[in-house]
Amino acid sequence: MFQKPFRTKSNTLLRNSDKKRLRKDLQESFDCNRLGSTLTEIIPNKEDVCHLKLYSHKGENVSVFFWENNPMLFDHEKTVYPTVCFLWKYPKLVPCIPTQAFVIHKLANGADLMLPGVVFHPDLKFPCFERGEVVAINTLGNYSALAVGVAVMSSNEMLKSEDKRGKAVRILHVFGDQLWTLGEKTQPPRVRYSFNTSDENTLNETEFSKTFENLKMLGNMATSETPNVENCELGEHEQDTGECKQNAEVSESTTSVNDNEVLAENNDIIEDATEESLNMDELLHVSFMTAIKSNVKDNQLPILAMSITVLHVLPCCPSGVNLEIKKTKHKKLGKYLKEVAATGLIEVKELTKGNDNIVQINRSHPDYCAFKPVKKEKPTEEINDKNTEKKYEPPEVSILYGTNAATLPLFKEIGLSKGSVLAPIDVRKLVTEYVNKNDLSNGRYVTLDPTLHHILYTKQNNHVTQETWENVFKMLTSKMQVYHQLKFKEMPPIVNKGPPPCVVITTQKRTGNKKVTLVKNLESFLIDPNEFMDVIRKTAQASTSISLLPSSKPTQPFYQVLVQGNQVHCVESILTGGLYQLPRKYLKGLENAPKPKGKRK
């Protein structure tokens, strides 16, 4: 349900009466004696509870109840369901069905839990539940819930099934999906089962850890250490939730060879991603230290965090490597700066609301003194590649004029037909020839014959018999059809009706008062939207996306690039800078850039 992004329709705070109704719905849906706390303690009146109304990608209406900085409950089709965050706090609320760790990866990709994926361990008594009851999914390596769904089979049907086929649980919510990302992206606690899981059909702790890290990648989770949680005895859960005696032994073919191959592939991916994250952390630190030791001077302080990123940190990155702060464990530069400030190397202050500034650098700090800046050297091969690589060159934009019904009487006598396109210099040349041929020149003025008078003036201006040369040209071109021509190097000219195109830059407010910047019409200047999106993502260190404009034609698609935050200044610097070199007059919407805030008195 939440594998793909959804749209938030509203976000409001619940009143006490609404909280009371939510407690009642929770009590009617579950056996709240299992919670170990009263409903008032779980949903306190003094706690702010947000009610988010969502519209999923499948067109479903879902209500999410959000407190303690995490989504805790969601309501779908008048049924209340707990989230994984809620079950980590109250694990005894619903029965938990164990599965293999790599199966969670498949559930995160949108699959339902099939009966072959359910683990029937000889030392584990299977929980009791009926068809249609809300259940949680966990693994033998960790008792914490990693998915929530609705049982399609009862526990007895699962145990008595001979072929072990069919759908067992319809999955609604999985750890790492879009609903989980609404909160603080809390990691599941490690709560181990109290029996030995060294059986060949189960995963050991190392294998589980690797697949668990893979899940964190799916949810774009920070790679921080999992918090330690005291071990929990399974017996306590069994006494509260009720048990069913196991009627079937473990099948020797629970884990097939194919499943082991998939798990091995996943582990390889996880190791590569972890190594990449560590490399990004090291790269960020080296680039930052190089920037403050080589580039940033004391007279440049205080300096904005965004400014030091774009102007100093990114340029100090070694050649051939792209620094992406979102792939580090910090996710944002502000968190990294606070970590460095805790060591005493720099001092960070929020001089304006929401903007961190580096106000001081401790040049005598041991880390600063011991660090040796990395010299950025370009390999010979890279220089040769850049020389041979095709560089974008901006087009030569020119205005053209076309003959139309209003000006056709004049150009018809010259020998042109309707729709002929002329450059301004050609219009001057043809009009001059017409005037000289008909002996209409009178020094600085042109005597207007019936043809010229009919084109330039209306009947109310019959008294005008002469006009200056400049006015004749201006008035004539104002009556003609305007065209524009884009002339790219080694390409035939592109001629279209209308004035020259512009790259349109707009800003919008989205849910949560967040601003986004939209850039469209890049294709008019033959700029690849995907390439531009990649450039601005690395320059602005902000999330980006691309979408097809509904108004574009199938034969000539136009795309819109979305950038998180007000990035108008950044878009302008990229398009007018050395990469694209577009004239500023062809950028529309620069007035949407954030205004500089005046100094407070």
- In this structure, the answer to whether residues 446 and 580 fall within a common structural domain is no
Low-confidence winner among 192-201, 224-233, 370-379 (lowest mean pLDDT): 224-233
Report how many domains make up the chain. 4
Q: Is the pLDDT of residue 202 over 80?
A: no
Tell me, yes or no, whether 264 lies in a domain.
no
Q: Which residue has the higher pLDDT, 472 or 194?
A: 472
Residue span of the structural domain in which 412 resides: 396-497
Using pLDDT thresholds of 50, 70 and 90, give the confidence band for residue 380: very low
- Mean pLDDT over 313-332 rounds to 78
Tell me, yes or no, whether 16 lies in a domain.
yes
Whole-angstrom CA distances from 259 to 170, 203, 253, 482, 544 are 21, 12, 11, 66, 35
For residue 252, how many other CB atoms are within 10 A of its CB? 8
- Mean pLDDT over 153-167 rounds to 86
pLDDT recorded at residue 102: 85
Residue with tokens 């020259």: 500
- In this structure, the answer to whether residues 468 and 519 fall within a common structural domain is no
How many CA atoms, within 13 angstroms, populate the side-chain half-sphere of residue 449?
12
- In this structure, the answer to whether residues 18 and 108 fall within a common structural domain is yes
- Mean pLDDT over 157-177 rounds to 88
Q: Which residues 6+ apart lie within 8 Å of 291 measured at CB?
A: 308, 312, 313, 315, 316
φ/ψ of residue 54, rounded to 5: -110, 155
Q: Distance between CA 288 and CA 324 in Å, rounded?
A: 13
- In this structure, the answer to whether residues 124 and 168 fall within a common structural domain is yes
Using pLDDT thresholds of 50, 70 and 90, give the confidence band for residue 575: very high
Q: Which residue has the higher pLDDT, 381 or 447?
A: 447
Tell me, yes or no, whether 268 lies in a domain.
no
CATH at residue 577: 3.30.780.10
CATH at residue 343: 1.10.10
Q: Which residue has the higher pLDDT, 51 or 375?
A: 51
- In this structure, the answer to whether residues 17 and 162 fall within a common structural domain is yes
Tell me, yes or no, whether 600 lies in a domain.
no
- In this structure, the answer to whether residues 106 and 166 fall within a common structural domain is yes
**313: DSSP letter:** I
* Three-class DSSP category at 149: strand
- In this structure, the answer to whether residues 489 and 514 fall within a common structural domain is no
Give the global pTM: 0.44
Q: Distance between CA 500 and CA 503 in Å, rounded?
A: 10
Give residue 416's identity as a one-letter amino acid code: L
- In this structure, the answer to whether residues 412 and 311 fall within a common structural domain is no
Phi-psi region of 527 (alpha: psi -120 to 50; beta: other; left: phi over 0): beta
Q: Which of 58-62, 130-134, 199-203 has the highest mean pLDDT?
A: 130-134
Q: Is the pLDDT of residue 350 over 50?
A: yes
* Percentage of the residues of the chain whose pLDDT score is greater than 70: 82
Using pLDDT thresholds of 50, 70 and 90, give the confidence band for residue 217: low
- In this structure, the answer to whether residues 35 and 147 fall within a common structural domain is yes
Q: Which of 295-309, 458-472, 524-538 has the highest mean pLDDT?
A: 524-538
CATH at residue 405: 1.10.245.10
Using pLDDT thresholds of 50, 70 and 90, give the confidence band for residue 376: low
Mean of pLDDT over the chain: 79
The per-residue pLDDT for range 43-62, each reduced to its tens digit, is 888 888 889 888 888 778 89
The neighbouring-strand residues paired with 355 are 352
How many CA atoms, within 13 angstroms, populate the side-chain half-sphere of residue 161?
20
Q: Distance between CA 303 and CA 348 in Å, rounded?
A: 10
How many residues are given for the chain?
601
* Three-class DSSP category at 371: coil
Q: Is the pLDDT of residue 410 over 60?
A: yes
Q: Which domain-ending residue is among 449, 473, 497? A: 497
Using pLDDT thresholds of 50, 70 and 90, give the confidence band for residue 194: low
Low-confidence winner among 81-90, 177-186, 563-572 (lowest mean pLDDT): 177-186
- In this structure, the answer to whether residues 56 and 76 fall within a common structural domain is yes
The per-residue pLDDT for range 17-39, each reduced to its tens digit, is 888 889 888 888 888 777 777 88
- In this structure, the answer to whether residues 430 and 512 fall within a common structural domain is no
CB-CB contact of 496 with 483 (8 Å):
yes
- In this structure, the answer to whether residues 38 and 109 fall within a common structural domain is yes
pLDDT recorded at residue 423: 92
Tell me, yes or no, whether 338 lies in a domain.
yes
Tell me, yes or no, whether 187 lies in a domain.
yes
**580: DSSP letter:** T
Q: Which residue has the higher pLDDT, 503 or 191?
A: 503
